Structure 1
Amino acid sequence: MTPIMSKQTLDFDAAARSLCVGLPVSIGASGLARELSAIAPDRAFRDVLTRGGWFRLGGVIDATGRHIADDLTRWGESELAKHEDDLRALYDACAGSGLRATRLLGRTHYLVAVTGTQAADFVQVEIEELQETVSHVLFEGHVPGSLEELFEAPEAGAATNEPVSVPFYALRRITNVSELLKRIAAEKPEPQTVHRFFDAWQASSAGQTTHFSNHWVLAVREYLDRYRQSIQQATPVAALNGPSPKFLSAYGAKGLALAEALQQFDRQAGYPMAWFFHMLTTKSVPQAVAYAVIDDVQDGFAYLPERDVKVLRNWLHRPFGF
């Protein structure tokens, strides 16, 4: 069930959508943050991550570049229904027409604003930077076996990526992270992995040093379960716009050598216990390191604060990861 949003949330959502329509992409992610802060004066938005290199299906254009449809999937389903679900008949009717599929090339800008002192106290705005380009000619070569095959660009030809439109912004999602975690908790009685990740952050030295949203965003996904109920999932994504931190240690390192490797990783990431959270997500630190650290603790090495040792012991008792 879609949650009921407050009037303030709805107003911000509408204002953000309108903002995206009127802004040129030349302002960049930092410009987006300034504009969002202007329409929500009680929030100071910052751009923390841009993820690119993805695309999704676009629409249909004719041989002259005129738009026939904005949604390729709906258009294909409608046209197939007109031909009594006969792909051969649809192919015969459209072959040689010059119809072309388009795709949307995209990047997602993540912008955040802190709303409190707890790790989950922030609002996350995802704004997509999109450009519609030509993907491939439809109904060319052979009768497709399915609509999915029709929509997919042939391997040999690949997508032409010829621009159809100028780049533009579109609002993807606004997430109040604290409320999202409450909704996820209400869907299932037992603590989910994402809750345990936030709890570990809050309890660790990381949570005492910096805010979660300075270093992480959430990849949010919504789907329907077998009972047609809406289920939401959230996965932490490291807010890295440059090289990932490197764990520089030989296998089996212990004691001072291991302590130095962990501290070096944390310095690269910019906060304490970074190695632990990257171990759970990016896998750049092997899980064997956690066991080696506890062995060191038991041998009398005290290079971790007690709060971090407790977080680590809790994880060893009930491991989790993404």
Structure 2
Amino acid sequence: MRKEYDLQTDVLATIVAATSVTKNHSDLLTAFATRTDYRSARYVMARDVYSERPARILDAEDREIAADYHAWIDAQLEAHGGSVRAVWEAYRNAGYRLTEIRPLLHYFVHDRGGEQDNFVQLEVWEEQEFVERELFPRDDSWGLPRIDELRRGATGMAFIERSEPRMLGTPRYRLEGAIDMQQFISLATAMYDRRRRADGDRRLVETNRSTGEQRIVTVRELTPGYDQVRWSGRRFFDDWSASSAGRAGHRACLRWTFNTSDYTDPSGMRELSFVPQWAHTRKIAELKNTGKLDVYSLYGKLTQFDERIGMPFAWYFYGLHGNLIKSGQMERVLEAAEDGLIVLPEHDYQVLRRWSQHPYGF
């Protein structure tokens, strides 16, 4: 079912699929500019962390036996009584080959300007088909896969004799999504607020251990500042706008991409969230072994970090992510600022202070 924030259409998917993969994605950017509403689309980054997946089955002469490996293997298991060994016996000498898809996810952004969340994130797969192994090993000396492994495509890893996988055809684009992030964030915020209000209204029985006296209280009454807590995704963009990063004109959508999630649990409770992914391409080392540094040296390293990233107050947002900058380092900077040992711009100090009062991260 199409989501409220997903702007992808059959026309957009067709345009993306019909565009040739070129260096720097120049043809796709031209297609966006001339054939879609995303005329200002810019390339942001690629994510090369996805596993290869089974695609087709070919014979030894590259004739197609099945266009969909998963449908074929399900049919074979059904025909052979669910027996992995029976399927293997039927095809181990057939010389069939399994093709796979090597996926790479590209992020583009159409920035509509104004508010920091006012952009469309375009997610496009680049997929290359290749073949490097036969469907089944010729013998079972290394054992046979379990049925769940067979369904996933782990059929025994019988590699064809060659130094490199053989590419089939040319890479192709496939549209994954066109997400209106402003709509996504608005919807996610409303869902979070409704859920939090409902949780805050839950009534509990509080018992005085000394007197045994009981009273009915709500979660809200037991939690100082309960109604001040806001959804972390909304806070990310608000913090960006308020900080030196936003004030200097840097756009969050060109510095980060957003791995979105839309999950409904078995009870019907729906939750939208995202994890920000940095878009820098330079190798940036984690800020480690700072525990013994004085706060001046620590802040100096954070300033150097900003210079490498190319924007002010970058360390704060990387601290929210948590891989390169740690929350303990952020807390030390706040303490030093409050003690008058270092000077932060007032707007950055206020962002850091609000984070300390109600910490969040990704």
What TM-score range do you get, normalising by the shorter chain? 0.7 to 0.9
Aligned-partner SS, 1:64: coil
1:202 equivalent among 241, 248, 259: 241
- Relative distance call for 1:185 and 1:56 in structure 2 (3 A) is farther
Structure 1 counterpart of 2:89 = 92
Following superposition of structure 1 onto structure 2, how do residues 1-322 of structure 1 map, counting pairs within 5 Å?
2-4=2-4, 9=7, 13-40=9-36, 43-52=39-48, 54=50, 55-140=52-137, 141-142=139-140, 143-149=144-150, 151-152=153-154, 154=156, 157=159, 161-188=165-192, 189-190=195-196, 191-209=230-248, 210-227=250-267, 232-244=272-284, 247=287, 250-281=290-321, 283-322=323-362
Offset, 1:227: 4.1
C-alpha change, 1:147 and 1:41, in structure 2 (3 Å) is closer
Pairwise CA distance, 1:112: 0.4
| Separation (CA, whole Å) in 2 of partners of 1:33 and 1:122 | 16
Contact 2:133–2:158 at 8 Å: present in 1 too? no
Distance 1:312 1:98, change over 3 A: same
Percent of matched pairs sharing the same residue = 27
Cα distance change on mapping 1:36 and 1:285 into 2, 3 Å: same
SS in structure 2 of the partner of residue 33 of structure 1: helix
Q: What root-mean-square deviation, in Å, do the aligned CA atoms of Structure 1 and Structure 2 show? A: 2.9
The answer to whether the 8 Å contact 2:135/2:158 transfers is: no
Separation (CA, whole Å) in 1 of partners of 2:75 and 2:264: 24
Deviation at 1:76, TM superposition (A): 1.5
Structure 1: runs of 5+ lacking an equivalent: none
Query: 1:228 & 1:97 partners in 2: Cα distance?
Result: 47
| Residues 1:269 and 1:91: Cα distance change in structure 2 (over 3 Å) | same
Q: Which has the larger radius of gyration?
A: 2
User: Can you give the 5+ residue segments of structure 2 that lack an aligned partner in the other structure?
Assistant: 197-229
1:281, 1:51 → 2: CA distance?
17
SS for the counterpart of 2:48 is: strand
Q: TM-score, length-normalised on structure 1? A: 0.86
Aligned residues: 318
Q: Distance in 2 between matches of 1:170 and 1:319?
A: 38
